[in-house]
Amino acid sequence: MNNASQHVKDVTTSDFQQEVLLKSRDIPVLVDFWAEWCGPCKTLSPLLERLTDEADGAFELAKVDVDANQELSTQFMVQSIPTIVAIKNGREVDRFTGALPEASIRTFIGGILPTELDRMVDEARTALVAGDTAGAEHMLRQVLEMQSDHQEAGTSLAALLIDRGDIDDGLIVLGKLAPDADVERLQAAARLRQSAGDDISELEAAALEDSADMDAQMNLAKALAARSEFEPALDKLLAVVARKGDGREEARQAMVDIFEVLGNEHPLTATYRRQLATALN
């Protein structure tokens, strides 16, 4: 199916990451799972396309042919079509199945469009990029005063606090949010940053003095990780895990925290995750 509108696109498994998940970090994306043989799809699709054009860029419509993209259908657990999935900030936020009336679809779309609080978060992020940390923090706290579990405001403020060293405050903010990949990554970063103030030279001396002292090795590894010196930190943590002593679980968790911060695609994550699995056996 070819679409004339710039806001309606045919999407496949190969470009789904770019055209849907990454795009949804800028504006919401509706994913229309359809098939040529589906009668209700022929009713719903033109209506969705018209509403998308009316919105003039407020959101985009990505059309996925389920017959040609079965992997995506399985990933999103599509059991019947048409199924419409709303994606924001890289994750599903809502869905409906079947050819709903236009009024119901308009209500659905209204529920995923940015609110005034969302716009305040965007302004705060722009302020952060411009170097106005105080202004950004003020706006984010305003949003959270009005909605304490606003996900984007919470993660943005927590990231700011953790980067500044206010670890406990950052963790309190994260504790009010729904758990997701961003929250878990920031919680891992917070745990790693807790050793940022330690004197690295003293820790290195203690670790060199007694290589069998697992507490000294752990303390040095955490301090290195807090300074984003991840490879030497992972080496030392892996050694603690391999020794199978009392600090083994703490070292394993610290390695997992580093993996969370680095992300699954980072080469260090792939390398040390395999080595960790071997050491744990």
CA 78 to each of CA 14, 96, 102, 268: distance values in angstroms, whole numbers, following the listed order: 18, 11, 22, 35
Domains present along the chain, CATH in parentheses: 8-112 (3.40.30.10), 116-193 (1.25.40.10), 200-280 (1.25.40)
- 54 catalytic residue (yes or no): no
What integer is the mean pLDDT of 184-210?
82
Buried b (16+ CB within 10 A) or exposed e, 110-138: eebebeebeebbeebbebbeeeeeeebbe
pLDDT on residue 37: 96
pLDDT on residue 100: 93
- Catalytic residue selected from 41, 112, 183, 255: 41
**How many whole angstroms separate alpha carbon 133 and alpha carbon 235?**
35
What integer is the mean pLDDT of 68-96?
93
Q: pTM above 0.85?
A: no
**What percentage of residues in the chain have a pLDDT greater than 70?**
97
pLDDT on residue 104: 95
Q: Quick one: how far is CA 119 from the chain centroid?
A: 19
CB 114 within 8 A of CB 59: no
Partners of 48 in the beta sheet?
none
Selected residue with higher pLDDT from 10 and 244: 10
What integer is the mean pLDDT of 233-260?
90
What integer is the mean pLDDT of 45-68?
94
- Catalytic residue selected from 11, 20, 30, 38: 38
pLDDT on residue 2: 53
Instruction: For 29-51, write each residue's pLDDT tens digit.
Output: 999 999 999 999 999 999 999 99
- 122 catalytic residue (yes or no): no
Name 264's Cβ contacts closer than 8 Å, sequence gap at least 6: 270
pLDDT on residue 197: 59
CB 51 within 8 A of CB 106: yes
What integer is the mean pLDDT of 96-109?
94
Instruction: For 110-124, write each residue's pLDDT tens digit.
Output: 999 988 999 999 999
